[in-house]
Structure 1
Amino acid sequence: MTNYRAAFQAALFLDDFGIMVKQDEPEYNQFQPGWEREVEMRKLFLGTLIFIVSMELIAAQKTGTSVFQDPGKVFSIKVPADWHMLYIPFSGERTFVFSVGKMTSEEMATGSNPKALVLVKMVRMSSADSKLALKDVAARYFKYLQEIYKQKNLPFTYKIGESVKIKGTVYVKTRIAAGNTAIRSFVTTHGGLFVELESQADKKTEKSFLPALQQALYSFQFQNIPVPGPERTILCAGNQLQLKVPSAWFVRRERSKDADQTFVSREKVEKPADIFHVGITINLFSDLRNFWKIDKQAKEASLLYNWYQAMNSSMKKRNGRIYAISSQNISGLKAVSWERSYQADDKSYIQEYHLSIIRRFSIFDIVLEAPVMEFERYRPIFDTAIDSIQIIRKK
């Protein structure tokens, strides 16, 4: 959950209230950080990876393969039952690596090479990137990789091939050579995500692993996100805001002199120290003048922009990324929304929708959050909640 008191303290230096929120606010480059790290992975993981979690595969009986179901409910894939899986999260992206034999994080960090592997990478795209044609996305991606390899004096050549269909989805197929490693890559886009399927193997032994690699790649399938269950409408934020939330989720309310907070969560929270991982936080901060020194003539749009700046002041320190910033109008009030992902204090990676609505000196601040690995599973629930928001006028 967001530490709003810290955000207020960070905002105290903001005293310029003349900046407007623009519809076409520049976005962070979503692909670049991930692509730079991908160079290390394409050399079969030279260098240190930030955070690696080992997960179990679900063994399929009598087939010699295992079916892996993505925790975010986005995809499934079949791999040999004795292969090992590593999960690598980062802000706004997830990478799953299935390798021959077990690899430890220490082996990954020192660049020990598995004989063969299959990689699934998913990156949240910026609005600008999501408007590109698929082949243009692929060309931009591989050109950037080639430039990074060149800077590191590493060999890297690629050839973008024809479009192919896997389980009904169109991919751009690319063959890559990087030193002694043969790489086959398939890229596509899916619901705002850039998705890459990739096989890697040593050139000398690739043929012996090719059947298993191809079987895994061509078994990849996008899943239908589960339809949200029953909903209920709740009234919160000093009885001034209503929205729809899952009926099965837990609701807890806290009030203080400066704020009215409602927590709607998948996990049960009973006291302030309890932490939830998936949920919605609805805040009403009744008077920004309790936190900022504000001129009486300050415009709402300027205050809203400064609020946005304060909420995101620590993003760079947290490996943060911001997506799809836009101005909105909610119940006749000015609002700004964005999606972001960052590293939390416990080193896990969080993804959020964030919506802030201003009414003179009051702010309604709504945060919808889940771990990066699960966010896509809950996106439909969050979309429903946001679309249902209504501000109730004071009588």
Structure 2
Amino acid sequence: MTTSISESPEDLIRARALELGFDDCRLARADQPWSAGERLAEFVAEGRHGEMAWLETTLERRAHPQAMWAGARSAVMLGVNYGPDHDPCDILAHSDRGAISVYAQGSDYHDLIKKRLKQLATWMAQTFGSEVKVFVDTAPLLEKPLAQASGLGWQGKHTNLVSRQFGSWLFIGSVLTSLELEPDPPGEDACGSCRACQDVCPTNAFPAPYQLDARRCISYLTIELSGPIPQEFRRALGNRIYGCDDCLAVCPWNKFAQAGREQKLAAREALRAPSLAELSRLDDAAFRTLFAKSPVKRIGRDRFIRNVLYAIGNSGAEALANEARRLLDDPSPDVRGAAVWALSQLLNLGAFEVLRSFREEAEPDVDVRAEWAYPSKDLTTSSTASP
């Protein structure tokens, strides 16, 4: 890259970022007062973070960018467009298929973005002699408030970043630097009176606009939550087996976003609309193979199969009852419990009672026995599925 002596550091950084493949680059001060840390503290104090204990243990470091690094003066905020080439909600009508969140249908975005961030940070250090630190969302840095401060977008009513150029489909990365950079104007909220993201949520996870109760969010329930998913949310899961795109997909600003998945992030055909029956047969080795380099791999086979079984229970497909029945002998109690629930949704009263009569008492896990003892719906004799 050739540089002109008249170009400012800000212009040079933006140009270099675009050369490296980022779709947007904006600048913010990292040493100014802000209220994001206080809002996060309130979120945690109200228990809305659920089992995400790492939010509580890192609360002090998340309070302000300089709590992460006292030497930070500016933040270079980067965006990568991952807009899909289809409506992610279309798959919800195909109940024998699993819905995997758009961002997780390809390779893990952290790997690609972090590589580019390091390239940009190295160039900045060499060019300006500055100190730099890079962050993707695995680090305790509140990136969405910083992204809004930089003008990359604004935090919408679904609490995710919204961009005028890319809608709700932006991966975010950041480089904190000791450079004193001129900031861009902050992002201005353009949600207006729209509440599409609030109204579409299957579990009513938004107690108010711009507020999220993670304990009710399908992304949290299918990814972060260990053990059985609470009964009240299981039917609302539908066929969503990893994450949920509903609130992102209905954002009206998406009409300005073009499909932006690069080859390294392109959706794998096998993960666009995978068969629930085939997924339910994955053992640990097959799970690791299918989801190699995918963020899905991090939740492990047992939690994933748990999600698949809830989707099978919601499918209404009696043919899938055999898949659930087979998993009653799975080593994982989470899987066995979800299998019981799935069968309680698919079998008629007589068939379920036969299974319960010789399964419940022999079940060693208390939570799985509870699934046998208290099926979540009034079983009828309308189904013809046999034990």
Classify the TM-score, shorter chain. Answer: under 0.3
Structure with the largest fraction of helix? 2
TM-score, normalised to structure 1, is 0.24
TM-score, normalised to structure 2, is 0.24
